[in-house]
Structure 1
Amino acid sequence: MRRISQGKHQALRRTGMQTLRAAVALPFLIAGAVKLVGLSGMVSLFHEIGLGQWFRYMTGGLEVVGGVLVFTRRWVLGALILCCVAAGAIVTHVTKIGGSPVPATILLAMSVALAAIGIRRYVREAEGHC
């Protein structure tokens, strides 16, 4: 078995992280934009949820802000925001609107993985500076 050089290993890790960030952020950015634009399907969905249209704007805003943050230096904060949004979507599917919570569950798992990677990095850095 051939060993990967240190430089190639770092390049693969960097590419993997960029891919995970994009895979987490893009669905939320699209969903957030759809909510903020106010497509009729979203308006009626949030009417069915029963919390008012302000909740649609808040949810869409959180999705967009979290999705954008995932591409910045504050990517861990973005991932944590998206974890909360995905968890809320799962609860809403199960308790209010029906439908499959599987897509939201997959997004939650990916968001948790991204946040965990970031938190682990912060902990390692903090331990190294003590």
Structure 2
Amino acid sequence: MSESARSGPAMSNGMKVGNVLLWALQVLLAAFMVYSGWSLFGDQFVGKFDKIGFGQWLRYVTGVLEIAGGLGLLVPRLCGLAALGVVGVMVGAVATEVVILGDPPAAVLPGTVVVLTAVVAWFRRDTVKALLQAFGK
């Protein structure tokens, strides 16, 4: 269903409620991602990124990606693509916690974010298709 069909007068009450709930989820995820990304610029994650072994530059890049993904979740045209980006970053976080750091319980939070942002990406897939079509012209 196109974006105009979802926001037009023919939108059913169920679709309206679903859209509101999805936006609420996006706002919560955005707040979390911006907070999480911003916290990576502090000193509390230096030791963790030292253990990862790629250098502190990865901490800064990850922070920027998390903030950008969080802000993108709030932009209607970009929210689907931003959700896909957040999924990618958080899959990396899960893999890092489990494989490199050997701390599976620490992967629960990023794993939860993966699932929630994958839901957003699925329900906002029309926005991704629209962007791809716009760039394909």
Structure 2: how far apart are the matches of 1:115 and 1:55? 25
Amino acid at match of 1:17: L
Structure 1: how far apart are the matches of 2:109 and 2:92? 13
Amino acid at match of 1:116: W
The 1:10/1:119 distance shift into structure 2, 3 A limit, reads closer
Amino acid at match of 2:23: Q
Greater mean alpha carbon deviation, residues 80-89 or residues 24-33:
24-33
Structure 1: how far apart are the matches of 2:125 and 2:94? 23
Aligned match of 1:44 in 26, 43, 47? Answer: 47
Matched residue, 1:95: 99
Matched residue, 2:84: 80
1:23-56 Cα deviation digits (max 9, x unpaired): 32222111100012x2x22111111111101100
Q: Give the RMSD, CA atoms, in angstroms.
A: 2.1
1:25 matched to 2:25 = no
Amino acid at match of 2:17: L
Identity %: 26
* 1:14 Cα deviation after fit: 2.7
The runs of 5 or more residues in structure 1 that have no matched partner are 1-5
The 1:104/1:122 distance shift into structure 2, 3 A limit, reads closer
Aligned match of 1:11 in 3, 10, 16? Answer: 16
The runs of 5 or more residues in structure 2 that have no matched partner are 1-10
* Greater relative CO, 1 or 2 (CA 8 Å, sep 6+): 2
Structure 1: how far apart are the matches of 2:84 and 2:12? 30
What number of residue pairs does the alignment pair up? 118
1:110 matched to 2:116 = yes
Given the two structures, how large is their TM-score scaled by the length of structure 2? 0.76
Structure 2: how far apart are the matches of 1:28 and 1:122? 20
